[in-house]
Structure 1
Amino acid sequence: MNRLFQLINTAFDTFEENWDSPRGQRRLGTMLVIAFLTALVFTELSRLDWLPAHIAEYIPQSHLMAIHFAFTLLLGLEVVSLILSLAHSVSTAVGKQFEILALILLRGVFKEISHLHEESLWQELYDVLLPISSSSIGALSVFIILGFYYREQKHKPIVTDGHDRISFITAKKLIALGLLFSFAGLIIWEIYDFIGQHHEIDPFESFYTILIFTDILIVLISLRYSASFHVSFRNSIFTVVTLFIRLALNAPPLPAALIAVATAVFAYAMTLAYNRFVPDLSPENSH
């Protein structure tokens, strides 16, 4: 068992160290810039009919889709950061979910305007003013609420016994590794579907569905180390938060923004209530 724990921790820690290192972040940033510029170039080549037909059919005609593409890549990177945060703090992982949701709302703005004709963009923009305004305001509201949410986090471990704490963290790292492979599988499937059916590459709805079951699994595993009602209730509420976020991803722009803001307020209220009524659980507290 110790050998298995060591393998899990080594695999997770090595990946996280490379991902979060300054060098790794610079590489990821460079990749985003190159991908964005490449998308712009290919879009222009497609508009000029300089690409072979079998390639041009996959390239959009609007330069604005390059922004949407860059945001999609950025969201993919943020999902990986969310997965890594699961091993450290459930509450921080919930915050990461809202960060991703805010970016998805902003991406929706560029998705809406990417369907307009570039030549008459500013005239046609009035037709989509409501959806892009609701998405923008919703994203900003989530960002503001998230600041208050993070400020209220206490980050206290639910397990005080050293061996049990290592065991619990290792279990969460194993779940995180499974999520990484699942997300990679979703991306591969989305690319395959895009090539075959020309569907938009968007693995985030499916990922959040998987995340709901993952949250429930973490709640159940945590019961092995802490039977506290308060911890179980808080973590279960966070699962409900994930469920509402998943609903927001499927909703039209205005309802999506309303659900996003209401869910962010809900998560913040849960954190305030938890900190107010459960200031200290002694051996079992709030991480």
Structure 2
Amino acid sequence: MNFFEKFIALVTYIYDPIHYWWEREKTQKFVASLLIFIFLFWLTVIEMNRHGVLPEFLGQKIPKNPFDAVHLAFSLLLIFEVITFIFVLPCSVTMAVAKQLEILSLIFLRNCFKLLIEFEEPINFSAHLDIIFQIGSYAFGALLLFISLTIYQKLKQPREGVESGVTIYYFVGAKKCISLLLILIFISLGIYNAFAAYYGKPHVNFFQEFYTILIFSDILIVLISHKFFPSFKDMFRNSGYAIATLLMRLCLTAPIYFDVMIGLMAAVFAMCLTYVYNRAERFF
């Protein structure tokens, strides 16, 4: 075995047990139970703070809006979805794009609950019409993304290439290496934000940074895939999916309303690219 073969074998040896552990039913049930516990616990703490039960030094650090608990729960759910995406990446490029769109739709829904924090009891709708329209924008944006995802999933087709099993093995192994790097970056971002929160320093926007990293990982996959699948249609498709990731990254920092439009643009672009790629199979 040469160095590359040994390296891919080592990556597979490390990656597969981690992937199995995360995807097994017991782990997923634990994650779901953990989310429920954190949501109920934080909601209880917030309610206690609202009624002045907590000590003053704690009450100053804990929010009083119950929608903060919803925002926290959705943020944690998104983090777990990002972990799932990392493990989807080696399986299929099209599946990875679908997972990115799923995460984006959940980000839109989370933004709805985040905006609800702006409301004070009792709720005065006339004073918050702009926020209501923003919530509606994110809600309908998430719904349209869900519809786009449904269409995208139907457009996906299994690859009908003639590549050997060895070629697929090494290509998937290379993507597993990228996934392991993403896991390390994911953990590093989490540790950095934890220390930043503890010491009261500015933290990085996790999802913005992660989508930025995904752009570079997609470009790396494009370059790696060119080694194993040098045809123009494969290179164009993989490069196009990198553009879809770029659009999703841009939508995370775009102004309100524009972010929803850019996110939907990414979904439509991915759908059109998949449709054209499937139709092009007969011509290339």
Instruction: Give SS of 1:253's match.
Output: coil
Partner of 1:82: 85
- Say which of 160, 163, 166 aligns to 2:163: 160
Instruction: Output one character per residue of 1:18-52: Cα deviation in whole Å (capped at 9) or x when no partner.
Output: 11111111011001001101111221233344445
C-alpha root-mean-square deviation of aligned residues, in Å? Answer: 2.0
Instruction: Give SS of 2:228's match.
Output: coil
**What is the TM-score of this pair, normalised by structure 1?**
0.91
Q: Against the structure 1 CA distance between its residues 95 and 203, is the aligned structure 2 distance closer, same or farther, given a 3 Å change threshold?
A: same
Per-residue deviation at 1:257?
Answer: 1.1
Identity of aligned residues (%): 36
Partner of 2:116: 113
Find out whether 1:216 has 2:219 as its counterpart: yes
Gaps of 5+ in 2: none
Find out whether 1:15 has 2:13 as its counterpart: no
Counterpart contact for 1:142–1:261, Cα < 8 Å: yes
Deviates more, 1:100-109 or 1:8-17: 8-17
Partner of 2:176: 173
- Say which of 32, 41, 44 aligns to 1:41: 44
What letter corresponds to residue 8 of structure 1 in structure 2? V
Instruction: Output one character per residue of 1:179-238: Cα deviation in whole Å (capped at 9) or x when no partner.
Output: 011011111212222233375774110000000000000000111111111111111111
Counterpart contact for 2:192–2:203, Cα < 8 Å: no
Distance 1:278 1:133 in 2: 40
Deviates more, 1:163-172 or 1:69-78: 163-172
Q: Against the structure 1 CA distance between its residues 200 and 41, is the aligned structure 2 distance closer, same or farther, given a 3 Å change threshold?
A: farther
Partner of 2:256: 253
Instruction: Give SS of 1:118's match.
Output: coil
Find out whether 1:242 has 2:250 as its counterpart: no
Counterpart contact for 2:90–2:179, Cα < 8 Å: yes
Find out whether 1:232 has 2:205 as its counterpart: no
Distance 1:146 1:88 in 2: 18
Partner of 2:273: 270
Partner of 1:100: 103
Distance 1:159 1:225 in 2: 12
Instruction: Give SS of 2:101's match.
Output: helix
Partner of 1:32: 35
What letter corresponds to residue 276 of structure 1 in structure 2? R
**What is the TM-score of this pair, normalised by structure 2?**
0.92
Distance 1:108 1:230 in 2: 37
Find out whether 1:144 has 2:153 as its counterpart: no
Instruction: Give SS of 2:227's match.
Output: coil
Counterpart contact for 2:247–2:265, Cα < 8 Å: no
Counterpart contact for 1:158–1:226, Cα < 8 Å: no
Distance 2:134 2:180 in 1: 37
Instruction: Give SS of 1:250's match.
Output: coil
- Say which of 189, 193, 214 aligns to 1:190: 193
The structure whose RCO (Cα within 8 Å, separation 6+) is larger is 1
Aligned pairs, how many?
A: 281
Q: Against the structure 1 CA distance between its residues 168 and 45, is the aligned structure 2 distance closer, same or farther, given a 3 Å change threshold?
A: same
Per-residue deviation at 1:59?
Answer: 2.0
Q: Against the structure 1 CA distance between its residues 48 and 21, is the aligned structure 2 distance closer, same or farther, given a 3 Å change threshold?
A: same
Counterpart contact for 1:108–1:253, Cα < 8 Å: no
Per-residue deviation at 1:124?
Answer: 4.7
Per-residue deviation at 1:63?
Answer: 0.7
Per-residue deviation at 1:94?
Answer: 0.4
What letter corresponds to residue 27 of structure 1 in structure 2? F
Instruction: Give SS of 2:257's match.
Output: helix
Per-residue deviation at 1:53?
Answer: 5.0
What letter corresponds to residue 32 of structure 2 in structure 1? G
What letter corresponds to residue 106 of structure 2 in structure 1? L
Per-residue deviation at 1:261?
Answer: 1.2
